[in-house]
Amino acid sequence: MQSSTNYSQFEKKENIVWPIFQPAENINNLPFWNKRPYLSFEENQILIKGYLKRIGKNKQIPKAYMFILLKTGQLLYADKNQKGKIQLDLSIVLKKIELTNEENEDKQKICAIRIERFQNCSIHIWNEDNLISINVWYNRLAQFCISQNFEGFFQLQEKIDQGAFSSVFSVTSQIQQEVVKNQKFAAKVYSKSLLQKIPAQQMKDFINAECQILKIVKSQYIVQLFEIIQLEDVVILILEYVTGGTLYQVIQQNVLNELMSLEICYQILLAIKEVHHHGFVHRDIKLENIMISSLNPIEIKLIDFGFAEKINRNKLVNGSGTAGYIAPELFELAPYTESCDMFSLGVLFYQLLCGNSPFGTQNKETLLELNRTCNLQYLQKEWQNISSSTQKIVQKMLDKDPNKRITILELELLLEIHINNLRSNQANSRQALNQLQNCNNVMMQNQKTAIRLVSNNKKCDDDDMMIEEKSIDNTNLINLKNSQQYYNKSKWVS
C-alpha cells in the first residue's frame, strides 16, 4: 500500500440524535491512548491479537503495530514495547467503514474499524490484505463497545415478539466466517418513538440498565448479549436466540409436573443469584420473562432486564413491577432488595405448580389489593398432588414479612435437596413398577412384595422428604444436607 498524507472517511459522519450511548466529551483535549502504567497480563487472558495498521497523531504514514485485546476488554498496542492502552466500555463507539486514499490515482479504498473514545477523538485500524481478519476484530471489539453497524452484518428475518417498549426479530449473521455465518440471533429493537410513551431520562435508564447488566452477568440461565448496535432511530440488542417459547406458553400446555417445576425454579434462582451477585435486582420476575431453551432436559433463560436497578437498601428508587408479582412491602414504599425478587419467584413457582395465580383473580384492581395484603389462596384441589415439602417452600417464599421470607441461599439448598429426593423417588418407583409387571407369572407372594415396594415409595413421596418446618432455619441447613445425603444412600439402595 502506498503511503499517504491524507486519509479521510469515505462516508459522512452525521450528528447522532439518539441519546442513549455517546462518547464522553473530550475535555482538555484528552488523548485517545492511556500511556502509563504498562499493563501486565498472562497469555491466557488474550482474546485476540495481531498486526494492524494505524496512523499515529501528527504522523502521515501508516504503520503496523501489534494490537492485543484482553478478555477484560482492555485494548493495547505495542511495537517493541507497549505504547498505549484503553478500557473498552459502552461509552466507546465502534464502526466499520471505508477509508479512501485521496492521493492515490485509483482512489484506493480500504476497510477499517473506527474506534471513537471521546467526541471527535478516534483512531482507525485496518489490514488491507485480510478482510476476514478485520471482521474477526470487529466481532471481538463489539463485545465491549457500542456498534454502529447493522446492515451488511445481520439479515432481518421475521418479528417474533412485540412488547410494550420493544420489538423482537430473528436475524442471521452475514459475516463471512464459518463460526457465525448464517447463525440465528434474536434482535431486540428499541425505537426512538418510545419517547412518545415515557420521558427521555426514563427511556435512557430503561435501555441502559438492560445493556449494562447483560454485559456483566455470566450464567447459562441468563440470555446472552452479543452486541449492542445504535443507529439514528433505534438501539438493537443482538441476543442469544431461544426457541422454546416463554414459560407462560409452556404452562398453558399443562406439561409440567412437580419435579420439572422444582428444576425450573432452581434454575431461575441461580440466574437471580448471579444478578444479585453483581449488586442488582431484576424487579420483573414473571412467567413471560422466562424463556425455555430445552424441555428435555429442562433449561431456562432469564430475559428482560429493563426494570433492573442497583440494590438500594435505604429507600425505594423505582416502584415498577407487574401486578400479582410485587412484594407486599413495596406497597409501603420499602426498598427493593433481594427479598423482593424472592417473593416474585415464589408467585412464579406457585403458578408452575398450580397453573394459576396465588391471588386467584385476573381483575387488576382486585389483584393489586390482594397483592398488597398478601391474601393468598392455597386451594386444596390444586395442592392435593403436591408434596408437603414443596408447599412449605412456597409458603416460605411468599411470607408477607420480608424478614421471615426465605433467603436465596436457604432456598438454593432446600431446592437442591428436594430435587435430589424426588429424582431418587421417581427412579425407584419406576424400578418397583417394572418388578410388579414382571410378577404376572410368579407366585402371589412375590406380587405382594412388589406392591409393598411401590407403596413404600409412594409414601416417601408424601412424607415431607424429611424437610420439616424447623429445617428451613439457618442453623439446621448444613445438618439437613448431610442427613439427606446419608438418607439417599441408605434408603434407596437398589
Residues 208 and 281: their CA atoms lie apart, in Å, by 15
Determine which helix (DSSP H) or strand (DSSP E) holds 413, and give its type and residue range.
helix 408-437
Q: Does the residue 325 lie in any domain?
A: yes
Tell whether 318 and 355 lie within a shared domain.
yes
Q: Write the CB contacts of 210 (distance below 8 Å, at least 6 apart in sequence).
A: 237, 304, 305, 306, 308
Contact (CB, 8 A) for 75 and 39: no
Tell whether 388 and 294 lie within a shared domain.
yes
CA 263, 267, 268, 272 torsion-angle sign: positive
Tell whether 259 and 214 lie within a shared domain.
no
Tell whether 270 and 392 lie within a shared domain.
yes
CATH number of the domain bearing residue 362 = 1.10.510.10
3-class secondary structure, 324: coil
Tell whether 255 and 181 lie within a shared domain.
no
Q: What's the pLDDT score for residue 457?
A: 47
Q: What's the pLDDT score for residue 165?
A: 86
Tell whether 386 and 471 lie within a shared domain.
no
Domain boundary among 390, 406, 422: 406
Q: Whose CA is closest to 352, among 442, 453, 263?
A: 263
DSSP 61: S
pLDDT per residue rounded down to tens, the chain (494 residues): 334 334 344 334 443 346 689 898 887 788 899 987 788 999 999 999 999 998 877 777 888 999 999 999 999 999 988 999 999 999 999 999 988 776 666 777 888 999 999 988 999 999 877 777 888 899 999 999 999 999 888 999 999 988 888 999 999 988 755 455 568 999 999 998 888 888 888 888 889 989 999 999 999 999 999 999 999 889 999 999 998 889 999 998 887 889 999 999 999 999 999 999 999 999 999 999 999 998 888 899 999 998 999 998 888 888 778 999 999 999 999 999 999 999 999 999 999 999 889 998 888 999 999 999 999 988 777 788 899 889 999 999 999 999 999 999 999 999 999 999 888 876 655 555 455 455 544 444 554 444 454 444 444 444 444 455 455 555 455 555 554 454 444 333 32
Tell whether 253 and 397 lie within a shared domain.
yes
Q: Write the CB contacts of 18 (distance below 8 Å, at least 6 apart in sequence).
A: 192, 230, 231, 232, 233, 234, 235
Tell whether 391 and 351 lie within a shared domain.
yes
**CA distance from start to end of the chain:** 74
Domain boundary among 183, 217, 240: 240
Q: Does the residue 396 lie in any domain?
A: yes
Helices (H), 9-63: none
Q: Does the residue 82 lie in any domain?
A: yes
Q: Does the residue 450 lie in any domain?
A: yes
The residues that bridge with 285 in the sheet, in sequence order, are none
Q: What's the pLDDT score for residue 4?
A: 39
Q: What's the pLDDT score for residue 35?
A: 87
Q: Does the residue 1 lie in any domain?
A: no
Q: Does the residue 2 lie in any domain?
A: no
Tell whether 394 and 430 lie within a shared domain.
no
Q: Does the residue 259 lie in any domain?
A: yes
Q: What's the pLDDT score for residue 264?
A: 96
Cell numbers 431446592 correspond to: 415
3-class secondary structure, 460: helix
Q: What's the pLDDT score for residue 368?
A: 93
Residues 339 and 281: their CA atoms lie apart, in Å, by 9
Tell whether 36 and 123 lie within a shared domain.
yes
Overall domain count for the chain: 4
Domain boundary among 190, 222, 240: 240
Tell whether 308 and 175 lie within a shared domain.
no
Domain that holds residue 12: 7-147
Tell whether 233 and 162 lie within a shared domain.
yes
Q: What's the pLDDT score for residue 288?
A: 94
Q: What's the pLDDT score for residue 14?
A: 41
Tell me the backbone φ, ψ of residue 84, rounded to 5 degrees: -170, 165
Q: What is the CA radius of gyration of the chain?
A: 28
Q: What's the pLDDT score for residue 181?
A: 59
For residue 136, CA distances in Å to 39, 49, 112, 142 come to: 23, 10, 12, 10
Q: Does the residue 457 lie in any domain?
A: yes
CATH number of the domain bearing residue 119 = 2.30.29.30
**pTM of the predicted structure, to 2 decimals:** 0.81
